[in-house]
C-alpha cells in the first residue's frame, strides 16, 4: 500500500502598489487667510453691535443728547452697522499690516532669531525709558471705525480669491513621487517629466517662522533630478513640508513589489 504525500503550493506574492505622493506648491496668498477670517469675525461683531454713525460737518455740537449742526446744513442718512468701539477697526488694520509685511519678508533661520532678539530688546528698552504711557496716549488718538460693508468688501472677494487660488490654480503644477520615480507635471502646459529616484536629491530650506505658523507648517523644498546637469525644481509654500519630506524619503527608497 502506497501513500501519496500531500502537495504544497506556495501562493504567489500579491501585488502591493503603494499610492503615489502628490505635492503641490502654493502662492503667497496661502498666508492671507487671517485677513478674511478676521474681517468676517469683525463684520459679525459690527452687525451684532448694531450702532449707526452720523456724518456731520465741522462746528457741530452735541446738546441735550442731540446733534446741532450749523444753520443751512443738510444731513444725510447715518452709516448703518458701525461698532461703537474703535477696537475692531484697529484689530483689522494691525492684522492686515502684519500679513502684508511677514508674508512677503523672508525671516529664516538666523535672521528669524535675530529679529526675535531685536524685538525683545526694543520692548525692554521702551519699558526702561518709561515710554509705555506715551505709547498708550498715541494709540488712544488712533480711532479707526469701519462699517459692516467695509469689512465684507474686503472679506468676501479675498475669501473667494483665496479658495480659487489654493484649491484650483495652485494645483495646475505639482510633483508626483512614486516608488522609484519622480514626475514633474504641469497641467497648464500639458508637460510631464519623469526621473529615476536614484538621481533625485532634495533639501528643505530653513523654515520661515511666520509661514510655518500661519501656513499650517508650510515650507520650501528644492528638488534636483537627473544629476548635476539635470533639472532643479523649487516647491514653495508646501503645506506640512516636514511630513511630506519624511514620506518622500521613505517612498524614494522603495519600489513596487510584484
**According to the model, what pLDDT value does residue 10 have?**
47
Identify whether residues 35 and 161 lie together within a single domain: yes
- 121-179 pLDDT per residue, tens: 777 777 777 776 776 777 667 788 889 999 999 999 999 999 999 998 888 878 887 76
Structural domain including 186 reads: 172-252
**pLDDT score of 12:** 45
- Characterize 118-139 residue by residue with b for buried, 16 or more Cβ atoms within 10 angstroms of its Cβ, and e for exposed: eeeeeeeeeeeeeeeeeeeeee
> In total, how many domains does the chain have?
2
Last residue of a domain, one of 121, 144, 167: 167
Kindly report the backbone phi and psi dihedral angles of residue 44, in degrees, each rounded to the nearest multiple of 5, phi listed first.
-65, -45
3-state SS class at 17: coil
Higher pLDDT, 117 or 171: 171
Residues 85 and 202 in one domain: no
Chain segment 26-38, per-residue pLDDT in tens: 888 999 999 999 9
Per-residue pLDDT of 43-59, as tens digits, reads: 999 999 888 888 777 87
Domain termination site, one of 150, 167, 184: 167
- Confirm whether 182 is domain-assigned: yes
Residues 228-257 pLDDT 10s = 666 777 888 888 888 888 887 777 666 544
Q: Are residues 43 and 143 in the same domain?
A: yes
CA distance 42 to 58: 29
Residue 243 located in a structural domain: yes
Asked if residue 235 and residue 155 are part of one domain, the reply reads no
Burial of 97 (0-12, 13-18, 19+ CB in 10 A): exposed
Residue 1 belongs to a domain: no
Residues 137 and 176 in one domain: no
At 56-115, the pLDDT tens digits run: 778 778 777 777 878 777 777 777 888 888 889 989 999 999 899 888 777 666 666 666
Amino acid at each position: 500500500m502506497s501513500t501519496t504525500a500531500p502537495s504544497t503550493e506556495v501562493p504567489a506574492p500579491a501585488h502591493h502598489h503603494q499610492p503615489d505622493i502628490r505635492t503641490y506648491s502654493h502662492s503667497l496668498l496661502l498666508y492671507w487667510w487671517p485677513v478674511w477670517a478676521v474681517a468676517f469675525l469683525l463684520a459679525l461683531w459690527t452687525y451684532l453691535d448694531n450702532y449707526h454713525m452720523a456724518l456731520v460737518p465741522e462746528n457741530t455740537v452735541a446738546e441735550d443728547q442731540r446733534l446741532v449742526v450749523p444753520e443751512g446744513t443738510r444731513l444725510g442718512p447715518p452709516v448703518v452697522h458701525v461698532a461703537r468701539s474703535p477696537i475692531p477697526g484697529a484689530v483689522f488694520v494691525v492684522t492686515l499690516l502684519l500679513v502684508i509685511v511677514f508674508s512677503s519678508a523672508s525671516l529664516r533661520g538666523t535672521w528669524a532669531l535675530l529679529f526675535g532678539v531685536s524685538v525683545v530688546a526694543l520692548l525692554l528698552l521702551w519699558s526702561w525709558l518709561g515710554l509705555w504711557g506715551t505709547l498708550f496716549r498715541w494709540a488712544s488718538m488712533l480711532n479707526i471705525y469701519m462699517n459692516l460693508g467695509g469689512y465684507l468688501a474686503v472679506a468676501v472677494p479675498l475669501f473667494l480669491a483665496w479658495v480659487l487660488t489654493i484649491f484650483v490654480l495652485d494645483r495646475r503644477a505639482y510633483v508626483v513621487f512614486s516608488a522609484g520615480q519622480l514626475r514633474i507635471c504641469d497641467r497648464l502646459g500639458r508637460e510631464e517629466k519623469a526621473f529615476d529616484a536614484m538621481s533625485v536629491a532634495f533639501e528643505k530650506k530653513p523654515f520661515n517662522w511666520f509661514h510655518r505658523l500661519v501656513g499650517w507648517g508650510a515650507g520650501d523644498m528644492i528638488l534636483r533630478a537627473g544629476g548635476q546637469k539635470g533639472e532643479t525644481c523649487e516647491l514653495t509654500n508646501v503645506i506640512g513640508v516636514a511630513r511630506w519630506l519624511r514620506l518622500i524619503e521613505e517612498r524614494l527608497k522603495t519600489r513596487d513589489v510584484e
